[in-house]
Chains A and B, each alone.
Chain A
Amino acid sequence: MKKTVLIILAVMLSCSLLFAQGAEEANTIKIGVAGAHSGDLASYGLPSVNAVELVVANINAAGGIDGKMVEVIVEDDQCKPEIATNTAAKLVGEEVVAVVGHICSGATKAALGIYNESKIVVISPSATSPPLTKSGDYPNFLRTIAPDDAQAVLQVDFALNVLGSKKIAVLHDKGDYGKGLAEFAQAAIEGSSAEVVLFEGVTPGAVDYSAVINKIAQVGADTVIYGGYHPEAAQIIGGMRAQGLDIAFIGGDGVMDATFIAVAGDDAEGVYATAPVDTTSNPIAIQAAAEHQAAYGEDYGAFFLNAYSAALAIVNAIDVANSTDYDAIMAALKSEYVQTAVGNISFDERGDAIGVGFSVYQVNNGTFAQLD
């Protein structure tokens, strides 16, 4: 048994060594897609793969960019920072020109260290952590989704001005995205006419949130702002309504998901959520949805349109710059506007997309509908 294992390992090792000195192909442009493609966050990462593959298929069918075919290289990082670095190393080794990814902010932060030095353009469809662009540490990073501080400000604005909230309970799921969003919301509320009556984290996966919900009732909150994902949000809203707490609930883009409505059922009615502006009526978005249906036989998932747009932006930039050189592509991305599924966008010097933003949605008759 041991011998067999050793032999297999030796064979694999030699195979990998062989592939390591792979043949150089100067006639293809390689674009990488990195994110969570397995594990429990796979549903956030897989739609991006589909998006990039569809865009590249269209481009190749039209003859490629300047006659060169485009190749998509898909790599999984399971949303883990330490695996993301290996993923980045792999993509760098494959000599990709640009990467659409990663999906999770934490994994992105780890991987950017490698992409930065290797001068590779990275556009994320979903990494919303503000320091990625605001800190200035990652000049090669762009994103087709607005950062979380903008989202939090919108949430608080909405609560104060539209709902007239005075006592807001801010909850989060102790995760990078959720707590970040909550902290920005808290900062936005402080100094305004409302007060933060509760700021606490809930444990994802717990069987019962009644303690926190009792607390919310106890402190007399009139609104709940939640930073986190839909599974916990569904639990919390279910518990709130079951205990007769009929106050407003505002979630972020992690909450805006069909599964939230399915799990929470009737309790989901009236729940607010902020999410990227609804661009599904955008002609490119409609086309993308149709392509997805035709190719994969089902509706697209999270961040699909953002990833589709990222891919379009990259392809457009390479075309306009007429080269795959890092500086040329970057310059093109930051100066050119390109029609995408999320609108007519460009990127500012820090990497945030110009022309994307968030808006507020509300569950109405079983679906999320954009307000105003």
Chain B
Amino acid sequence: MIKDRLLKSLFVSLWLTVLTFPVMVIRVNTIEDTVTWRWGNLLLILIGSYILSLLWNYALERQERGKKVKTNKLSIKIKEIKATFSQSRPMKTSGIAAALLAIFLFPFLTSFYQMSIMNTALMYVMLGLGLNITIGLGGILNLGYIAFFMVGSYSYALLNQAIGLNFWIALPIGGLVALILGIIVAVPVLRLRGDYLAIVTLAFGEIMRIVVENWSSLTGGPSGIRSIPRPAIPGVDLNLIDTAKLVYFIMIVLAALTILITLRLKDSRIGRALIAMREDEIACQSMGINITRVKVIAFALGAVFAGVAGVVFAANTTFINPASFTLWESVLVLCIVVLGGMGSIPGVIFAALVLKLMPEYLRAFSEYRMLVFGAVLVIMMVFKPGGLIPEKRKHYNFTNKDTAEFEEEGV
């Protein structure tokens, strides 16, 4: 067995070494007309891929085994601990209290930089939660989601420039504008299914960005809008660090609101209709649910959260231009939702924090940052396709006692 594994990995490693030979070992510079050979890389790939291949196959095998039988002592112990935690009242309350305390104290214990990156991460948490409604609950793949974020940002920036709109009033307005846009986009998108729908949303996202980019007289074009006022409490003079704290609390409140709305949505009729639509559109329709209405709701609701988050983004960065709202950003939010586990709120939060904070903490390795990011995405999906914290659907446990009753009644 072991020998097979070692041999298999040897083949893999040799294959990869040959495959990557041109790119890794030979460097051609056509500007200076030089060809450099880096044999050191050859060894690196040979040995590195051998080890990685061993690890990879081992992990895959473990995953296969894990699926079948979960009698491993450690996993049983973990299950027990989890059970005691979630079932015991005092444990649960104290756990929640501790978490709330940590969240509240965070800005007072950390530096400006830490808060700054946490604020950015929180904005993506909100974006993730918003897209979660569209994709996670509704099953509609929106590849142009960041356009709603952009619309929220620009509505604050432009209205502030034009009529001096206050940040606090801009928050709901940004959401409203995004909502209207969401409804407008949803209309032509309704007839399409699956990947066609995804492509059309991508098209809309790009169209909006390019229009904003070119319509210089209205939006400032690629030079963007600068000197956007930060959030402020009227009458109170806040310095930079205090403003960051304010933004932090605003984001916490907004994120909490989003979570609340999502939770309520899941349990409501509309929420169940969304999930039904995600699972099987035709069955859903035959149950009498108006698919059109439900799709528009899924789209528009997701859009609102992005719009509001966009207002905060504009106020926090004080400068926006279309280059911050490209396809790449939409893809990032998509990754957050899928990585976290579609439909799962803790998963999305966790994934947003990880995907946004990791690059900041790994600043030292910034050259390899994107390489690692790509690899992490692949690895995460291969080993945990359901996401980091997959959605837990409500299920009812029948004990033997319950079924015994039914059996007695002859059902």
Interface residues of A, Cβ cutoff 8 Å to B: 1-3, 5, 9, 12, 16-17, 20-21, 37-39, 75-76, 80-82, 85-86, 89-90, 92-93, 105-106, 109-110, 113-114, 117-118, 129, 131, 137, 174-176, 178-180, 183, 201, 258-259, 262
Q: Which residues of chain B from 209 to 262 have a CB within 8 Å of any chain A CB?
A: 213-214, 216, 221-224, 226-227, 230, 239-240, 244
Of A20, A174, A258, A259, which one neighbours B214 at CB under 8 angstroms?
Answer: A174
Residues from chain B with a CB closer than 8 A to the CB of A113 are 227, 230, 317-319
Q: Which of A5, A82, A118 contacts B240 (CB 8 A)?
A: A118
* C-alpha gap A95/B30 in the complex (Å): 43
Report the minimum CB–CB distance from B150 to chain A (whole Å): 12
Complex: chain A residue closest to B239, CB-CB:
A117
Quick one: closest B residue to A132, CB to CB? Answer: B226
- Name the A residues within 8 Å of B389 (CB-CB): 2
Among the interface residues B109, B223, B227, B318, which one has the most CB atoms of the partner chain A within 10 A?
B223
Task: Provide the bound-state CA to CA distance between A353 and B240, in Å.
Answer: 29
List 11 extra interface pairs beyond A12-B361, A114-B240, CB under 8 A: A2-B388, A37-B367, A38-B367, A80-B324, A82-B120, A82-B324, A85-B316, A89-B112, A105-B223, A109-B226, A180-B222
**B110 at the binding interface (Cβ < 8 Å):** yes
A21 vs B109: C-alpha distance in the bound complex, in angstroms?
9
Partner of B111, one of A20, A131, A180: A20
B304 smallest CB distance to A (angstroms) = 21
B115's nearest neighbour on chain A, judged by CB, is A89
Chain A residues whose C-beta falls within 8 Å of the C-beta of B367 in the assembled complex: 37-38
Give chain A residues whose Cβ lies under 8 Å from the Cβ of B213. 174
Interface string of B301-337 (1 = CB under 8 A from A): 0000000000001001111110110000000000000
Which listed residue (B30, B222, B226, B239) contacts A174, Cβ 8 A? B222
Q: What residues on B are CB-neighbors of A5 within 8 Å?
A: 354, 388
Within the complex, which residue of A3, A109, A175 is in contact with B222, where a contact is CB–CB below 8 Å? A175
Bound form: Cα–Cα A17–B107 in Å: 11
Contact B323 A80 (CB under 8 A): yes
In the bound complex, do residue A179 and residue B361 qualify as a contact, i.e. CB atoms below 8 Å apart?
Answer: no
Across the interface, do B226 and A131 meet the contact criterion of CB distance under 8 Å? yes
Q: Which residues of A contact B313 (CB under 8 A)?
A: 82
Q: Complex formed: what's the CA distance from A310 to B116 in Å?
A: 28
- Residues in chain B near residue A175, CB distance under 8 A: 222, 323
Q: Are B31 and A179 in contact (CB under 8 A)?
A: no
Q: A38-B366, A86-B113, A117-B239 are in contact. Are A180 and B223 (CB under 8 A)?
A: yes
**Smallest Cβ distance from A24 to chain B, in angstroms?**
13
* Closest CB pairs A-B (n = 9): A89-B116, A113-B318, A110-B319, A262-B31, A20-B111, A93-B113, A109-B319, A90-B113, A89-B113
Residues of the A chain whose Cβ atoms lie less than 8 Å from the Cβ of B31: 258-259, 262
A75 adjacent to B363 (CB under 8 Å): yes
Q: How far is the CA of A277 from the CA of B239 in the complex (A)?
A: 41
Contacts of A106 in B (CB 8 A): 223-224, 319, 321, 323
Q: Which residues of B contact A (CB under 8 A)?
A: 30-31, 78, 109-117, 120, 213-214, 216, 221-224, 226-227, 230, 239-240, 244, 313, 316-321, 323-324, 354, 360-361, 363, 366-367, 369-370, 383-384, 388-389
Q: Is B240 a contact of A117 with CB atoms below 8 Å?
A: yes
Residues in chain A near residue B316, CB distance under 8 A: 85
A76-B321 in contact given A2-B388, A117-B239, A176-B222 (Cβ < 8 Å): no
Interface centre among A2, A109, A114 (most CB of B within 10 A): A109
The answer to whether A82 touches B388 (Cβ under 8 A) is no
Q: How far is the CA of A3 from the CA of B383 in the complex (A)?
A: 14
* Cβ contact within 8 Å between A37 and B366: yes
Q: Closest chain B residue to A177 by CB distance?
A: B222
> How many angstroms from the CA of A254 to the CA of B77 in the assembled complex?
62
Which residues of chain A have C-beta atoms less than 8 A from B109's C-beta? 17
Whether A38 lies near B369 (C-beta < 8 A) is yes
Q: Whole-angstrom distance from the CB of B396 to the nearest CB of chain A?
A: 25
Would you call B30 and A262 a contact (CB within 8 A)?
A: yes
Main secondary structure of the interface of A (DSSP, over half): helix
Given contacts A137-B227, A175-B222, contact A86 B319 (CB under 8 A): no
A86-B120, A201-B214 as given contacts; A1 in contact with B114, CB under 8 Å: no
- A92-B112 contact, Cβ under 8 Å, with A1-B383, A82-B313, A117-B240: yes
- For the complex formed, measure the closest distance between the CB of B105 and the CB atoms of chain A, giving whole angstroms: 12
Our pick among B321, B354, B366 for the contact of A81 (Cβ within 8 Å) is B321
> Complex: how many Å from CA A113 to CA B214?
25
Cα–Cα distance between A322 and B222 once the two chains are bound (Å) = 41
| Closest chain A CB from B56 CB (angstroms) | 14
Neighbouring B residues of A89 by C-beta, 8 Å: 112-113, 115-117, 244
A72 to chain B, nearest CB (A): 15
Chain B contacts for A76, CB-based, 8 A: 363, 366
A180 cross-chain contacts in B, Cβ below 8 A: 222-223
Inter-chain CA distance A330–B110, complex, in Å, is 30
Q: Which residue of A lies closest to B323 (CB)?
A: A106
B318 (CB) vs chain A CBs: closest residue: A113
Which chain A residue shows the least CB distance to B222? A176
The complex places the Cα of A17 from the Cα of B114 at a distance, in Å, of: 8
Q: Which of A1, A90, A105, A178 contacts B384 (CB 8 A)?
A: A1
CB nearest to A203 among chain B residues: B210
B323 touches A176 (CB 8 A): yes
Which of A2, A81, A183, A259 interacts with B319 by CB under 8 Å?
A: A81
A105 to B223, CA, bound (A): 9
Nearest to A94 among chain B residues (CB) is: B113
Q: List A contacts of B110 (CB < 8 A).
A: 17, 20
Contact B223–A129 (Cβ < 8 Å): yes
Q: B216 and A20: CB pair below 8 A?
A: no
Name the CB-closest residue of B to A21. B111
Least Cβ–Cβ distance between B366 and chain A, in angstroms: 5
Residues from chain A with a CB closer than 8 A to the CB of B363 are: 75-76, 90
Question: Which residue of B112, B317, B319 contacts A93 across the interface (Cβ within 8 Å)?
Answer: B112
| A75 to B214 Cα, complex, angstroms | 31
Do residues A85 and B214 form an inter-chain contact, with CB atoms below 8 A?
no
Within the complex, what minimum Cβ distance (angstroms) separates A146 from chain B? Answer: 18
CB distance from B112 to the nearest CB of A (A): 5
